[in-house]
Structure formats: structure tokens, C-alpha cells
Structure 1
Amino acid sequence: MMKKIILALAFSGILLAGCGSGNATKDSSSAKEDTAKITAVGSTALQPLVDAAQESYTQDHPNVQISVQGGGSGTGLSQVESGSVEIGNSDVFAEEKDGVDASKLVDHKVAVVGFVPVVNKDVGVKDITKQQLIDIFTGKIKNWNELGGKDEAIQVVNRASGSGTRATFEKWGLDGKEPIQSQEQDSSGTVKKIVAQTPGAISYLALSYVDDSLQALQLDGVTANDKNITTNKWTIWSYEHMYTNGKPEKALADFLKYMTSDDIQSGPVKELGYLPITSMKVERSSDGTVK
């Protein structure tokens, strides 16, 4: 009888050990699946929002590492297409970028951003016409006194070629006109600092970068604000895209879903000067058609 009991206990122990080993393997596999490294590169206009989202997301998902870098929309699109990064952040549709095969990419629109011409606060001008804006950036107007401001030479600051901010501004602010040769900067943060510190300077920024260190210009009496952007009364705006090379899966898909969640859309999107996708009263396609 004693031998039977011992054998039964031993057999039970084997079964329990086997079950424990199976659970350990399952837990280990699950933990491995939750571990991911995601790199998002591109638009500096979108960078503050993605930075804010990744901070809160990784707090709840400690096994996921997310790196957010600038470089401009063109860089983001080319790197995600080549497979160098998981996400390409862009202010423009992939179809608008030369050399990018948009058919390989999946678009995830996460917000809307308005862009506005900004000047050094000492120029003495707050409202100009759209034609005057075009004349400034094409070199026809050279001094702020021609617009009722200070007798001060206009210093144009541009974003570098490949910037989605520049492409959006040229398309909707300059009606497609090519700006004059001037100093060019790779990031919105640098542009903001230069305009704030340089007498007579003018450039353009996403609203998420504008603060009291700069003067945002009105165009034809229209202010760049949420209400005017949602109705297209202020036309210099774009979607903020996060492109992936093919359909995202696992942690990448979950993070992109998080970008459009209520937590982000009603929190950092509004707090940082962007507009939620759902607030738009119009829709714009890649060919510029608005409906």
C-alpha cells in the first residue's frame, strides 16, 4: 500500500512539473512577443506629438522601446520605404514625394496641423495679404517698411528641400511659387530660434511650435486657428501621417492605434497645438482636392 502511495505521489509530481514547465514556456513566449523596438523618423512638425505619445505608451508597455527622430518628411518616407525604420512621419502624402513608391506604404493619419508664417517680433507687421506673402518669399518685397513696418531688411529663412513643412507652405501659402535662395534649416526648432533672434526674419512653422517669442502673421485678416483650419478658411494645413511599410502588426499596430485613441486625441493632440482628425469639417486628398 505504501509503495502505491509513493508511486502515485511521484507521478503527480511529474505531472505538476510538466505543467509548470509549460506555463513557464508560455510566459516566456508571451514576454518575447511583447518586446519590440520601434523607430519613427521624419517630420519635425509631428515630432513633438509622437514624442509625447511614446512617453506615455512605453510607461504602460515597458518591453517596447520607441525612438523618435526628425530629419524631415522626405527622409521619413524614404527610410520607411527602404525598411530602415518602422515608421515614416510625414506632413505630406507619400504620393506627393518624388522617388517614393507610395504603393508599398500604408498611411495612418494621426492629426492635422496648421502652418503659419512667423516673423521676428520687432518688424512691426501683423497682417499681410497672401500676395504680399508670395512677394516676400519670391524676393519682390525686400524691406518691412514696404508693408508699413520698420525700415528693416527682410531676412527669409526656409526649411530645407525635402521638408514636408516647406512643401505644404509652398503649395498652400505660396500657390506653388519657388522661394528665393536663402538660408535653410533642417528642423522646426532651429527655425523658431533663428526667427526669434534675428531682426527682420520671416519663416513658417507648425502651430505646435509657435509661442510668444514670435509674431504669427494673419493673411488677409484671417488668423491661423483651429476654427479656421477645420473649415479650410485657413488653407495652410496638412494631415500628419505615420507611414508603415505594409500592414503593421503586434506592438507596431498597437502603438499606431494608440496614436488615434481618445487619450492622445483629446490630450497631447490639443495640448501641443494640433487638431484631432475628427474635428475637420473638410477632407483633402493627395491631389489637393478639398471636399
Structure 2
Amino acid sequence: MKTKKLLLMMVLTLMIAIIAACGNAEEGGTDTGTDTGGTDTEETTDEGGDDAAAGDAEGSLVLSGSSAIQPLMAAGAEEFMMENPNADIQVQAGGSGQGLSQVADGSVDIGNSDVFAEEKEEIPAEDLVDHRIAVVGMGPAAHPEVGIEDISTEDLIAVFTGEVTNWSELGGADQEITLVNRPDSSGTRATFVNYALDGAEPAEGITEDSSNTVKQIISETPGAIGYLAFSYYTDDTVLPLNLDGVEQTDDNVTSGEFPVWAYMHSYTNGEPEGLAKTFLDYMMSEDVQQVIVPELGYIPSTDMQVERDAEGNQTDL
């Protein structure tokens, strides 16, 4: 009898222990599923960068516009698509005017420009949202054998307006000057005209849609001069000319000493949503801003010690 009672007590004790253990397991499952899992999922959905990092972004985007920003956007798109195999992003050039026109009429998702939309009279700037991805310095670029390394603003204007036609007039080689321009729709041209030529319009010369082609022509044409973004100075096939004794460097742009620079704008028609927002958030992430941006010759906007508005006014930060 005592033995039966002892066995019954042991069975009851074991059952109580099992019930208690099950109760604890249920509580742990509730905490994990509601508090932790639910919160993590919600945060990932809200943050575009997290979606991209997780490889969850999908869909397609078409970007067009400034060739000055094209290398940066193309590199960012390539990295983004590697992390998000279900996303397809096409980056086209064509000039800032084209990018602004196409994003305004809805034919592309993002219009890249190195001028403010307000600077283009035909663009409904009030409908567009500006995303300043980076800053780019621009300057006069010449064939390496022109015989000078520095040019004054006064002489640069004389060269581009056709008043000076041979490098020997500036103490350089006895070589006829060939002008290489971008079309009127180009943001690079607008920036160069405004801040390097003091508004003077260039004389007729060779006109090319792409900065890549401009660089190639300058490198292959003795006596040629054009203008390029710093990001195209990847080798010694063209010569960046100092302007008024100031070198074309990032530091001189961020300090405000070198005046020829522009924001790299990515415009959307209204506030971005879906893949467009996720991609633009990714382009503003630390990985892109502090690694890809400087590696490709651009300047993070946060490094600037000066700022500029759509009217061209530059002020210290």
C-alpha cells in the first residue's frame, strides 16, 4: 500500500513538472513571435535601406539625364542589383535637360541633373522632388600637350569665346585651339558657363552629347579644350587646367576656393515610392556616400563647407 502511494506521488510530481515546462515554453514563444519578430519585420518594411540589404527589393527603374552623374548612378545601380537580384535598374545619359523633361512627363522614374530644375524654364520644377545625391567639381580639360597647366578666368573666357585661337597666345604650344562643347541641354555646360565663364556663351566648336566622348576627343585632338567633371580624370589622357592658380581638387571645392561645381540631383515626379524610394535611400546610405561616392571622384554633400541655391548664390555653412 505504501509502495502504491509512493508511486502515485511520483507520477503526480512528474506531471506537474511537465505542465510547468510547457507553460514556460508557451510564454517564450509568445515573446519571440509578438515582441521581437513583429517589430523586426515592421522596421525592415519601413526602411528602404534594410530592404535593399536583405535583398528584398524588386521591380524595374529607368534613370536618365546628366552624363556627369551617370558613372555614380551606374555604379550604385550595379551594387544595388547584386544585393537585389529581382531589381532591374537602367541608367541612361542624354544630358540634364533630357533627364528633367523625361521625369516630368513620366517617361522615366528618376531624372538626373547637375543643374536645379528651376534653371530650366520649360520644366515644371514645382512638381519635382529634389534628392541631392552628391557634389561634383568641373573644370577646363585640355589635351596634355597644349603647353600650359594654369589659366586665368579672363583667358579662359577669351579661349571659349574665340578671341584667342592659338595656345601660343597664352604662352603655350604653337597649336590651334579646338573647342569641345556639350549641347545647350547639358547641365555640365550650364555649370561651366555660369561659374567658369561668368555667363559668357562659348563659340562654335565640336559639340558632343556625352562627357565620355568629350574626353575621348580632347585626348585624341592636339590643341583641344573642353570641360569635364572631376570623375572623368581617371588617367592622364586629358589635362585638368588650374583655374586662377587653384587646382581642381575635392578639397578646393568643399572649401569654396574652386567655384566650378554643382549638386548631383536625382529628381522624382512627386515623392518617391516603392523601388524608387528604396534605391534613392540606398544611394544616400553610408556605404555609398563614404565609399562609392569618393572612389568615383564625387564629393558627399555632407562634406561641403559651402552651399549654393538655384540662383547661384554661394554661402558658407
Q: TM-score range by the shorter chain?
A: 0.7 to 0.9
Q: Which residue of 1 aligns with 2:130?
A: 107
User: For 1:78, which of 96, 101, 124 is the aligned residue?
Assistant: 101
Cα distance in 1 between the residues matched to 2:192 and 2:198 = 9
Find the counterpart in structure 2 of residue 194 from structure 1: 217
Query: What is the CA–CA distance in structure 1 between the aligned matches of 2:90 and 2:211, rounded to whole Å?
Result: 19
- Is 1:59 aligned to 2:56, yes or no? no
Partner of 1:107, secondary structure, is: strand
CA contact (8 A) 2:57 2:278 kept: no
Structure 1 unaligned regions, length at least 5 = 1-29
Give the aligned residue type for 1:218.
N
Q: Secondary structure of the residue that 1:80 maps to in structure 2?
A: helix
Q: Report the 3-state secondary structure (helix = DSSP H, G, I; strand = E; otherwise coil) of the residue aligned with 1:195.
A: helix
Aligned pair count?
260
2:31 aligned partner: none
Q: Structure 1 vs Structure 2: percent identity of aligned residues?
A: 51
How far did 1:232 drift?
1.2
Deviation per CA, 1:209-254, whole angstroms, max 9, x where unpaired? 0131111100111001011100111000000000000000121101
Q: Distance in 2 between matches of 1:107 and 1:190?
A: 28
> Could you tell me how far apart the structure 2 residues matched to 1:290 and 1:111 are?
16
Give the letter aligned to residue 288 of structure 1: G
> Is 1:208 aligned to 2:239, yes or no?
no
1:115-134 to structure 2, matched below 5 A, reads: 115-134=138-157
In the alignment, residue 165 of structure 1 is paired with which amino acid?
Answer: T
SS in 2 for 1:179: coil
In the TM superposition, what is the alpha-carbon distance from 1:194 to its structure 2 partner? 0.2
Show the counterpart of 1:145.
168
Provide the rounded CA distance (Å) in 2 between the counterparts of 1:202 and 1:59.
38
2:201 is aligned to 178
> Structure 2 regions of 5+ residues with no counterpart?
1-50
* Match status 1:284 vs 2:308: yes
- Measured on the aligned residues, the alpha-carbon RMSD in Å equals 1.2
1:43-79 Cα deviation digits (max 9, x unpaired)? 0000000010011111111111100000000000000
Q: Which amino acid aligns with 1:219?
A: L
What is the match of residue 273 of structure 1?
Answer: 297
| 1:98 CA drift (Å) | 2.0
Query: How far 1:34 sits from its partner (Å)?
Result: 4.3
Quick one: distance in 1 between partners of 2:280 and 2:182? 27
Residue of structure 1 equivalent to 2:269: 245
Cα deviations across residues 9-58 of structure 1 (Å, max 9, x unaligned)? xxxxxxxxxxxxxxxxxxxxx9xx94311000000000000010011111
CA distance in 2, matches of 1:216, 1:35: 41
> Which structure would you say has the larger Rg?
2
Distance, in Å, in 2 between the alignment partners of 1:277 and 1:261 is 12
Q: Distance in 2 between matches of 1:34 and 1:234?
A: 39
Name the aligned partner's letter for residue 148 of structure 1.
Answer: G
Letter matched to residue 37 of structure 1 = S
1:262 is the counterpart of 2:286: yes
